[in-house]
Structure 1
Amino acid sequence: MPFAKPDTRFPITLPDGSHHQGTVFLKAVLRHSRIEVGDYSYYSDHAPLEDPSGYAARIAPYLFEFSPEKLVIGKFCQIASGVQFITSSANHRYDGISTFPFAIFDGMGAGRPSMPTSFADTVIGNDVWIGTGAMILPGAQIGSGVIIGAGSVVRGKVPDYTIVAGNPAQVVRHRFDPAQTARLMKLAWWDWPIDLIVANGAAICGGDVDALERVVAKG
């Protein structure tokens, strides 16, 4: 069976030939002007929606069509049930006396003093695994190859190929040493043609960076 195309709504085919309704390729179901998502990134939900177009509101409930910020998700990301991206439009101003968002109850006029002035994008790299129930806070910058533990609350910048967990999430360990990480980022296997990726699945899912470099050297 050929590998599912990135615009496939339900990419998992069960043994009886039916499609697993709880897993969707996000590129196929998200229709939101402030969300960008790469090929093959998927979301799995314990309570799948009858209308998959509703997944934008499920994973990013505070990101609106008129929001100034964006949510950017790379390729081949694996997003588990209950993950939420709390984007910058959810923020309240907290540098003054009151955090109350007066402006949202009065037309949300531009320049209102109760509105935050910073709306940073939230950016997720490639091949990122986000565990069940994790929460990604406004403006987080998550590198490629990152693993985020279930229930973690993640903010700030997360380096490439690290494992983070906890609240607030902290680096548990680096998956590879700095030299290997640099080599992996240069290889960027997620940008290869899908046929080449599938053919070299053993090398990509293994820990041998040399093996991936040999694939590139062969052309």
Structure 2
Amino acid sequence: MFDRSYLQNPFSTYLKWLITKIKYQSKYEHLRLGYMSKLINVVFGKYNWIGINVTIINSSVDDFSYIAEGSVICETKIGKFCSIGPNVRIAPGKHPTHTFASTHPSIYSNPYNLLKNFSKEDIFEYKKDVVIGNDVWIGANAIILNGVKIGDGAIIGANTVVTSDVESYAIVVGSPSKLVKHRFSEEEIDYLLKLKWWDKSHEWIQLNSENLCDIKKLINLNPLL
């Protein structure tokens, strides 16, 4: 197997990034891709910002969502208006913890990056998509494990390790993550989930930008039919 690291140098790395930046920013007019970020099979919405040294693989990022520097995101669907902090890890891959005598992937799968594999097929599902709702805030250094679903409006605290699904408008912290509280009352959460303001037109959001800063004012001025 040829060792591709012989071909790596500052110029070739820069050139690869530049080609990626031109390719994606030409396709997505309102995208800004940070220095030395890597994209493989990524779909964007509108007005997305990606920080420096971000890696995104086999994922989608919807309108207005941004990802800060150093984050690595794989196999993930990200909704609208999400704020993802620096050095976040999403769907980093997993290993079997019981039944299998070994946790090493060469035994139970056939990944391309290992020099030798003993399995000709993937016996263990080490990749599973993550789904992140709309208006989600993920703090710095958080880790979200494979297969997790995060509801709309949730907040993931810095350094949190999310091992299970997170409800809409929940605040979770810790390792493993634990529920601290919900951001609003049940009635207010139900209203927001029905309103789906993130799907409204830009004109509606502009008109209600001040109201979105006060949940009670938003409800009073925009009653649901």
Give TM-score, length-normalised by structure 1: 0.69
Alignment partners' CA distance in 2, 1:107 and 1:40? 44
Give 1 or 2 for the bigger CA radius of gyration.
Answer: 2
Match for residue 9 of structure 1 among 32, 56, 73: 32
SS at match of 1:157: coil
- 1:80 and 2:91 equivalent? no
Aligned length: 174
Match for residue 34 of structure 1 among 37, 52, 58: 58
After superposition, where does 1:132-211 map in structure 2 within 5 Å?
Answer: 132-208=140-216, 209-211=218-220
- 1:213 and 2:218 equivalent? no
Mapped contact 2:77–2:132 kept (Cα < 8 A): yes
Unaligned segments of structure 1, at least 5 residues: 12-23, 48-57, 64-69
SS at match of 1:34: strand
After superposition, where does 1:12-27 map in structure 2 within 5 Å?
Answer: 25-26=49-50
Spell out, residue by residue over 1:146-191, the C-alpha distance to the aligned partner (whole angstroms, 9 max, x if none).
1111111112110001111111111111111222211110000000
Mapped contact 2:160–2:173 kept (Cα < 8 A): yes
Give the CA deviation at 1:118. Answer: 6.2
Give the CA deviation at 1:33. Answer: 6.8
Higher RCO structure (Cα 8 Å, ≥6 apart): 1
Unaligned segments of structure 2, at least 5 residues: 1-27, 35-47
Match for residue 106 of structure 1 among 92, 102, 117: 117
Give percent identity, aligned residues only. 34
Alignment partners' CA distance in 2, 1:174 and 1:109? 46
Alignment partners' CA distance in 2, 1:94 and 1:10? 37
The aligned residue for residue 72 of structure 2 is 59
Structure number with higher strand proportion: 2
Give the CA deviation at 1:10. Answer: 6.6
SS at match of 1:201: coil
Alignment partners' CA distance in 1, 2:182 and 2:167? 9
